[in-house]
Amino acid sequence: MVLSNTFFLKRNLIMMRILLAEDNPVNQMITRKIVEKLGTKVDVANNGREAVDMVLKESYTLILMDVNMPVMNGADAAAEIRRLGFGMPIVALTADSENMTDELENCGMTDFISKPVNISKIEAIINGCRKPEKTSERRINTDSVEGCISYVFTQLGLERDIVTELLGEFVEDSKIHLEYLHEAVTEKDMPRASSEAHYIKGAARNMGLRNIAAAAEAIEKNARSNAVSDYELLYNDIKEKLTVFAAEFSRLS
């Protein structure tokens, strides 16, 4: 007996989990049934906002994203997913174009399928995905250099060399203001500590570094409430986060 390619696809990709973001119930059912026929698990989001929320809760190998949806459209949802540091393929489902547009690519889409979809198109996309590995399923730390580059590229559309230059500037500037913060913490200078923490928080947020920004915000709030006893612990936390980020940037640059 000759086994079909679909049989092997089911066997090899049975552990895959796909997220389908589609608001039209008919299109949703068609695509979902095709994916299930190929032996792959699929979850459904009714709009872009739901898709982002589901990505935060589950590990997906692939996202099939309708472009035109209510609440949050596919392009904005893809950009948000990239900002959060996720790197799985996001494939646009669109009836508006026969080619991958700059708009779709710039928001973080990796490929597209022109509607109407059919089993061969979906199978080709799924077959192009690697078998899931633990490393590919974990969420990328948003304070990694990879996550930062993805965020800055998506939000600002800057070229990689410019992003690298920007990261270098952030690393050097944060070292200076971390020292200023240390001085303020040591001297129990509350207003200055709050100001330096606020500075670092703002810069980190602009780079999509949410963990560093959160650590800086904790110091800022602590300073405003005059809770001196927690300063050393909070300072060591932000110092460690910045040091780890700077070390990773140094290795990759």
When pLDDT is averaged across residues 135-150 and rounded to a whole number, the result is 59
Enter the CATH code of domain 5-137.
3.40.50.2300
- pLDDT, one tens digit per residue, over 36-87 is 888 888 999 999 999 999 998 888 889 999 988 989 999 899 988 888 877 7
Report which of residues 83 and 154 the model is more confident about. 83
Can you give the pLDDT at residue 250? 84
Res 9 pLDDT > 60: no
Intervals of CATH 3.40.50.2300 along the chain: 5-137
Does CATH number 1.20.120.160 belong to domain 145-252?
Answer: yes
For 33, other C-beta atoms within 10 Å of its C-beta total 12
Q: How confident is the model at residue 199 (pLDDT cuts 50, 70, 90)?
A: very high
Task: Please indicate whether residue 198 or residue 151 has the higher confidence score (pLDDT).
Answer: 198
Higher pLDDT, 52 or 126: 52
- What is the band of 195 on the pLDDT scale with cuts at 50, 70, 90? very high
In the prediction, which pLDDT does 15 show?
60
* pLDDT higher than 70, residue 26: yes
Q: Is the pLDDT of residue 6 over 50?
A: no
The pLDDT value recorded for residue 65 is: 93
Tell me what pLDDT residue 108 has.
Answer: 81
Q: How confident is the model at residue 141 (pLDDT cuts 50, 70, 90)?
A: very low
User: Is the separation of the CB atoms in 130 and 191 below 8 Å?
Assistant: no
DSSP, residue by residue, the chain: -PPPHHHHHHHHSTT-EEEEE---HHHHHHHHHHHHHTT-EEEEESSHHHHHHHHHHS--SEEEEESS-SSS-HHHHHHHHHHTT--S-EEEEESS-SS--HHHHHTT--EEEESSP-HHHHHHHHHTSPPP-HHHHSPPPTTSHHHHHHHHHHHH---HHHHHHHHHHHHHHHHHHHHHHHHHHHTT-HHHHHHHHHHHHHHHHHTT-HHHHHHHHHHHHHHHTT-GGGHHHHHHHHHHHHHHHHHHHHHH-
Per-residue tokens: 27: 């299109």
Q: Tell me what pLDDT residue 145 has.
A: 81
Burial (Cβ within 10 Å: 0-12, 13-18, ≥19) of residue 161: exposed
Q: Is the confidence at residue 214, as pLDDT, over 60?
A: yes
| Alpha-carbon span 52 to 229, nearest angstrom | 38
Q: Is residue 163 pLDDT above 60, yes or no? A: yes
More reliable by pLDDT, 159 or 180: 180
Residue 124 predicted with pLDDT over 90: no
Contact call for residues 181 and 112 (beta carbons, < 8 A): no
Entry pTM? 0.50
Task: Give ranges for CATH 1.20.120.160 in the chain.
Answer: 145-252
Using CA atoms, how far apart are residues 184 and 196, in angstroms rounded to an integer?
Answer: 8
User: What pLDDT is stored for residue 211 in this prediction?
Assistant: 85
